[in-house]
Structure 1
Amino acid sequence: MTAAREVELEGHIIDSGMMQASFGIIMDMGGSFEVEEFAIGREKTEESYARLLVEAPDEETLQSIVHELHQNGANPSDPKDATLQRAPKDKVVPYGFYSTTNHPTEVRIDGEWVDVEDIEMDCAVIVEDREGANGGPRAHTKVLSGVEEGDAVVTGETGIRVSPPERPRDREGAFGFMQGGVSSERPSESTIRQVGDAIDETKREGGDVLAVCGPALIHSGAREDLARLVREGFIDMLSIGNGFAVHDLERDLYGTSLGMDTESLDHPRKGHKHHIYTISEIIREGGIREAVESGTVESGVMYECVENDVPFVIAGSIRDDGPLPDTITDSMEAQNAIREQAHEADLVLMLSTLLHSVAVGNCLPSTTRTVCVDINPATVTQLLDRGSDQAVGMVTDIGTFVPILADHLLDEE
């Protein structure tokens, strides 16, 4: 006996590929479908609607198909309230808990749809009473390590609505280019100028720009240009590892980055010791801010962050030398600090750092505009494939990208 369920697709389901993807999911997983209703949006900004009857040979197969469709943005046509179960103890969720995507999500509580706050992938959804005069239920995400005994956790997929970001046909404006995937064939300067326009528009709208930077940015000679962007207010937050901060500070103290002069490309005598000497000097001062305030450090990205009150998170790793006093060595504490930045960001620049960018990307909603730049096309592809629907990837040298970006933004002022 076959099992069947109706699902709905709404929005720019043709242009985004959502409808085609849904058809493929159903057939690939052994199901079939009938289109019961289909209304096509005929204007650029007009949305489309489709209602499908999905059939499968048994209930288990149907549940699997509906799960995949739900991840793709299809929702049941007869929604019921979400199912809640209490967490049995700290860090333990009920069996069958709903694991979030990074798309905007709502849960149905007492017949009303409630937005899930701080959406990111691979989290549990917790429902609780809202404090204050507003009252009513509140839904928000928690990582598994943050779940507490007694939390009301959403389980199953009933009463959950996922909305992948729209991709309307009208892509004009500063952000219109940010849905074009990855290419090393595009004219780099033209694309960099478009990235600059997107940053400028974000700032004019009161948004925040987060830069996620790897040590290669310092090695490539782009340090001074990134420092200019921080100084002039185009970078609002910095997410980095211990290595980036050390190389930036080493450049100020010794004129080298990991022992190499970034201007002459020479390796000064005993230059290999500059890295560890730098760490020692900053530890002696008590931290980066203290080193800037004492006059020990007088230039660079970290200097400009301190001087212009730009917050930075330095997340440590097992590979770190030292580390610097400002480096967060507890991985969960670092993850939470990164998560806080990610939730505040309106535009994210991922600049030549795969692992750190993946860490930040895991915390981002799919609606956050993201620019990924790396000389390795595999790195850019891997970052974009993690789920952002409003992203652009550039395969180019970071030492070319940042100076052109800075010139474009600062020359227009």
Structure 2
Amino acid sequence: MFTLPDYIFPDFTAALFKNAPSVRTMPAPLDGVVPENFYATTIYPEYFKIHDTWQLMSESRMDCVVVITDDLPQAIEFRNVKKGDSVVVGRQESAENGVYVDHFAFAKKQNKGDNFSFRTSNSRETAYSRDYDRLYELLEFERENGYILWVLGPAVTFDQDSRNAMSHLVNSGYVDALFAGNALATHDLESHFFNTALGQDIYSKENISMGHYHHIETINRARNCGSFENLIEKYKIEDGIISACIKNKIPMVLAGSIRDDGPLPSVYANAYDAQDALRVHTKKATTVICLATQLHTIATGNMTPSYQVVDGVVRPVYFYSVDISEFVVNKLKDRGSLSSKAIITNVQDFMVNLQRNLPE
């Protein structure tokens, strides 16, 4: 049975906190411009002393500035700062400047083992049996108590079984929001119409004659219908990830790229519009699972804090990066998303494992 770890709040009666000054602010000089010596956010729980009271920022994101509004700290992207906003300044993180970062919020001391040991990080040689068991327990818990965000690369749709498995998880309530690009949706719908992805049969892996037309034919049909909803209704689409999301009213953020064909209806052509749409969900996400998509994984990781405040309870955010490349999962850690858990495996096998071991 999965249980959340307890969060121990800092002892704000200690002299370190009682003697600390209140946080300092300066007005933003222009829209999208902040004062010199601004404070930038991390992924960890951050407290700000406002009118002699330490307050936890409830909706965080790394690499933002902090604006005090109605005596509450808010993480705001640089581009969204307005002239005159009260921006926190000062770069100390240990209460000296009215700011305290709880770097070890959910860290647990190792109870056994030596300081020197082998195989302390995940690699292609790692055994993941226990990791899978923990993930099954977590997802069962989160289905009832959390908000599960999935970040999908198109490889999920390149195999019949993994596509079916992802659709099954949507229908079974294990998906609260989905983030992907134009390709994931295109090839999922292509699989319905032609049983191919990029012209290759999703079961036999046979390359179909003239199959390179399939994805752009799919895009054309979707654009002609004007929306996923109209496409699904017109062509009576009962299978696949997009159909499952539409029928279960699961929000999708599809972010376009410079190389996209079409794109499909509902794909965000503007990167910042996509970022704003995704942040609606990273603000709520309690578990994030990223599958075989390096750039979307890093983007999501950089927008997701290590904690959430749910009904007044501070809890960790669980972040999984699943890819067959060690480089990809390590790249996420290099970019500052230190709370991520790596599983290095083929994503099709990963999806089938989840479907087979999670209850309906």
Class of the TM-score when normalised by the shorter of the 2 chains:
0.7 to 0.9
Cα displacement (A) at 1:181: 4.5
The equivalent position to 2:281 in structure 1, one of 318, 335, 341, is: 341
Cα displacement (A) at 1:226: 0.4
Give, in whole Å, the separation in 2 of the partners of 1:293 and 1:145: 39
Cα displacement (A) at 1:79: 1.6
What is the SS of the residue equivalent to 1:361? helix
Cα displacement (A) at 1:266: 0.6
- Once the two structures are superposed, what CA deviation does each residue of 1:59-106 show, in whole Å capped at 9, x if it has no partner? xxxxxxxxxxxxxxxx88842111110011111101111111111111
What is the SS of the residue equivalent to 1:182? coil
The residue identity in structure 2 corresponding to 1:391 is: S
- Once the two structures are superposed, what CA deviation does each residue of 1:28-47 show, in whole Å capped at 9, x if it has no partner? xxxxxxxxxxxxxxxx9999
The equivalent position to 1:356 in structure 2, one of 292, 296, 309, is: 296
Compute the RMSD of aligned alpha carbons. Answer: 2.3
The residue identity in structure 1 corresponding to 2:152 is: C
Aligned pairs for 1:76-155 (under 5 A) are 78-129=19-70, 137-155=71-89
In terms of Rg, which structure is larger? 1
Contact 2:7–2:106 (8 Å) recurs in 1: no
The aligned counterpart of 2:249 is 309
Give, in whole Å, the separation in 1 of the partners of 2:203 and 2:255: 28
1:285 correspondence with 2:225: yes
Q: Which structure 1 segments of 5+ residues have no match?
A: 1-43, 50-74, 130-136, 172-179
The aligned counterpart of 2:205 is 265
The residue identity in structure 2 corresponding to 1:144 is: F
The aligned counterpart of 2:347 is 398
How many pairs were matched up? Answer: 327
Change (3 A) 1:106 1:98: same
Cα displacement (A) at 1:316: 0.9
The aligned counterpart of 1:62 is none
Give, in whole Å, the separation in 2 of the partners of 1:94 and 1:260: 54
The aligned counterpart of 1:24 is none
Q: TM-score, normalised by structure 2?
A: 0.86
Give, in whole Å, the separation in 2 of the partners of 1:276 and 1:225: 25
The equivalent position to 2:90 in structure 1, one of 148, 153, 156, is: 156
Give, in whole Å, the separation in 2 of the partners of 1:144 and 1:46: 31
Give, in whole Å, the separation in 1 of the partners of 2:280 and 2:9: 33
Cα displacement (A) at 1:408: 0.3
Cα displacement (A) at 1:299: 1.2
Give, in whole Å, the separation in 2 of the partners of 1:265 and 1:149: 56
Q: TM-score, normalised by structure 1?
A: 0.75
Change (3 A) 1:403 1:362: same
Cα displacement (A) at 1:185: 2.6
Identity of aligned residues (%): 33
Cα displacement (A) at 1:170: 7.8
What is the SS of the residue equivalent to 2:197? coil
The aligned counterpart of 1:196 is 136
Give, in whole Å, the separation in 1 of the partners of 2:40 and 2:190: 43
The structure showing larger relative contact order (alpha-carbon pairs under 8 Å, at least 6 residues apart) is 2
- Once the two structures are superposed, what CA deviation does each residue of 1:152-200 show, in whole Å capped at 9, x if it has no partner? 00011311110123212489xxxxxxxx742333333442232121111
Change (3 A) 1:91 1:45: closer
The residue identity in structure 2 corresponding to 1:381 is: N
Contact 1:361–1:383 (8 Å) recurs in 2: yes
Cα displacement (A) at 1:148: 0.4
What is the SS of the residue equivalent to 2:187? helix
Q: Which structure 2 segments of 5+ residues have no match?
A: 1-5, 92-96, 112-119, 308-316
Give, in whole Å, the separation in 2 of the partners of 1:46 and 1:312: 35
1:321 correspondence with 2:261: yes
The residue identity in structure 2 corresponding to 1:214 is: G
The aligned counterpart of 2:146 is 207
The residue identity in structure 1 corresponding to 2:46 is: T
Give, in whole Å, the separation in 2 of the partners of 1:104 and 1:318: 35
The residue identity in structure 1 corresponding to 2:257 is: S
Change (3 A) 1:219 1:45: closer
Change (3 A) 1:169 1:48: farther
Give, in whole Å, the separation in 2 of the partners of 1:139 and 1:333: 23
Change (3 A) 1:83 1:284: same
The residue identity in structure 2 corresponding to 1:339 is: R
Contact 1:369–1:388 (8 Å) recurs in 2: no
